Amino acid sequence: MNIAETSLRSLGDMPVGVSLKSQYYQLVLEHAPSIAFFEIHAENYMVDGGAHHRFLEAIVEKYPLSLHGVGMSLGSAEGISSEHIKRFRDLVERYNPTLVSEHLAWSVEGGHYLNDLLPFPLNQESLDIVIDNVNTVQDALGRQILVENPSSYMAFNSSDIPEVEFLSRMAGATGCGLLFDVNNVFVSGRNMGWSPEEYIDSVDVDLIGEVHLAGHLVKDVDGVELRIDDHGSAISDDVWALYERLIKRSGDKATLIEWDNNVPDFDVLQGEANKAYNIMTDQNQNKLKASA
C-alpha cells in the first residue's frame, strides 16, 4: 500500500484538512469542526513545553495531524543539521503524525538559517544532494516523508532536468512521496511561462500523499505580472480548476487548505475545505455514472 492510500484510510471519508493556527485552538476544542485533519509547521513547536503543546496535545486526541517542516533545507549542499533532525524527530515521536513533509528548497548556509525557501538548479548534482538529504531524514525518522514541489520566480541556466522528472527521480531513488502543491504549480507556470495544465497531466499521481491548496498574491513589477505564493488569501479560480483537473486523474487525495498570512475566521477555511470536498465528491459521482 502506498502512502496516499495509507493516509486516506487514516483520514476517513472527508480527507480535507486546514492549517492549525493558535487563534483556532479554543474553537477546535469546544466545537469540533468537521475537518479531517490539521497541519502544523514543525518549527513552531520545537520547544519542550508551553501553551502551544498543551493545546496541540488535546487536539491530536480528536484529530489526525500532518507535520510540515519548513527548515530542514533538503537542497543544502552542506547536508542536514543533526540538531534540527533531532528536534524534528522528537516531534514525530511525540505526536505520531499521519503525514510528515518538507520542502524542496534550501535555507541554511554555514549554520545560519536564512528564513526563506530558496531555489536551486535542477540538475544531476543537486538531485544527488537532495537524494542524500532525503535519505538522511527518512533514516533518522524511520518513516517515509513527503517532499513539496517549489514555487518558482527565476530560472537557472544550469537546470537541465524538468521539475516533474526531478521529483519522480527523487522519489524513485529514496522511496519518499510527494506533497503536491497545486498553487505552486500555477504560480510557477505563470511566472516561468510554462503550462500548469501540462504539469498536472504529467505528474505521477501515485506518488502524491498530500495536496496543498492556497492563495497567492499578484504584483505588478515594472509592467510584468508576478505571482507570489504568500498563503494570504482565498484560493483562486484558476487553482481550483487545476485541483479539479488533478483529482479527475488521481481520485481522492488528502488535501490541506493553507492560510498563513491575513489569517481569517475559521468559517472561511471551513468553506474552502468544503469546496475541495465537493470537488472530490463530484468526481466520484462522475466515475460512478461512467461505469454504470
pTM for this one? Answer: 0.94
Q: pLDDT category, 61, cuts 50, 70, 90?
A: very high
CA–CA distances in Å: residue 73 to residues 81, 241, 288? 9, 31, 43
pLDDT beyond 80 at 2: no
CA 22 to chain centre: 20
pLDDT beyond 90 at 178: yes
Would the CA dihedral through 23, 276, 42, 151 be positive or negative? Answer: negative
- In 3D space, the residue among 260, 261, 218, 210 whose CA is nearest the CA of residue 238 turns out to be 218
Q: pLDDT category, 12, cuts 50, 70, 90?
A: low
| Torsion angle of the four alpha carbons 84, 88, 90, 96, in this order, in degrees rounded to the nearest 10 | -170
Q: What is the pLDDT of residue 176?
A: 98
DSSP codes joined into one string, 105-145: -EEEETTEEEEEEE----SHHHHHHHHHHHHHHHHHHTS--
Q: pLDDT category, 182, cuts 50, 70, 90?
A: very high
Q: pLDDT category, 1, cuts 50, 70, 90?
A: very low
pLDDT beyond 60 at 4: no
Residue 210, amino acid: E
Q: What is the pLDDT of residue 268?
A: 97
- Write out pLDDT tens, residues 231-262: 999 999 999 999 999 999 999 999 999 999 99
Name the percent of the chain lying above pLDDT 70: 96
144 or 290, greater pLDDT: 144
Q: Which helix (H) or strand (E) holds 292?
A: none
Region of residue 114 (phi > 0: left; psi between -120 and 50: alpha; otherwise: beta) = alpha
- In 3D space, the residue among 19, 1, 2 whose CA is nearest the CA of residue 255 turns out to be 19
Q: What is the pLDDT of residue 106?
A: 87
- Write out pLDDT tens, residues 130-147: 999 999 999 999 999 999
Q: How far apart are CA 112 and CA 107, in angstroms?
A: 8
Q: What is the pLDDT of residue 259?
A: 96
- Write out pLDDT tens, residues 156-169: 999 999 999 999 99
- In the chain the domains, ranked by start, together with CATH numbers, are 3-291 (3.20.20.150)
H-type alpha helices, the chain: 3-11, 25-31, 51-59, 82-95, 124-141, 163-174, 182-192, 196-202, 237-250, 266-291
